[in-house]
Amino acid sequence: MANAAFMKPLTPSADLGAIVGEKAIPRTEVVKKVWEYIKKHDLQDKKNRRNINADEKLGKIFGGKKQVTMFELTSLVSKHLK
């Protein structure tokens, strides 16, 4: 059985909700939707694909950073979930 903590619906903050929607969804779905947003808006760095460039919406999730690594992404997103 999958880990119950990952399946539990979590409520996104207003900033994260602007990207993934406002209703409570599991963390796995949140991360999936954030990646869909990144790809849709072509925010992966052209030279180093492991880096994500912030636009206005993602900048709020990234704590004002202009760029983060994909490894930082999950922990930054987690701060916006209740």
Per-residue model confidence as pLDDT tens digits over 10-29: 999 999 999 999 999 999 99
**Structural domains counted in the chain:** 1
Q: Which residues pair with 8 in a beta bridge?
A: none
pLDDT at 1 over 90: no
Would you state the pLDDT for residue 38?
97
**Confidence band for 7, pLDDT divided at 50, 70 and 90:** confident
Which amino acid would we find at residue 1? M
Q: Which domain holds residue 61?
A: 4-78
The CATH number covering residue 29 comes to 1.10.245.10
Mean pLDDT of 38-62: 97
pLDDT at 51 over 70: yes
Question: Do the beta carbons of residue 54 and residue 68 sit within 8 Å?
Answer: yes
* 45 three-class SS: coil
- The C-alpha atoms of residue 24 and residue 29 are separated, in whole angstroms, by 10
CA contacts within 13 A on the Cβ side of 53: 12
Would you state the pLDDT for residue 21?
97
Question: Do the beta carbons of residue 42 and residue 53 sit within 8 Å?
Answer: no
pLDDT at 50 over 80: yes
Would you state the pLDDT for residue 4?
55
For 51, list phi and psi in degrees, rounded to 5.
-100, 140
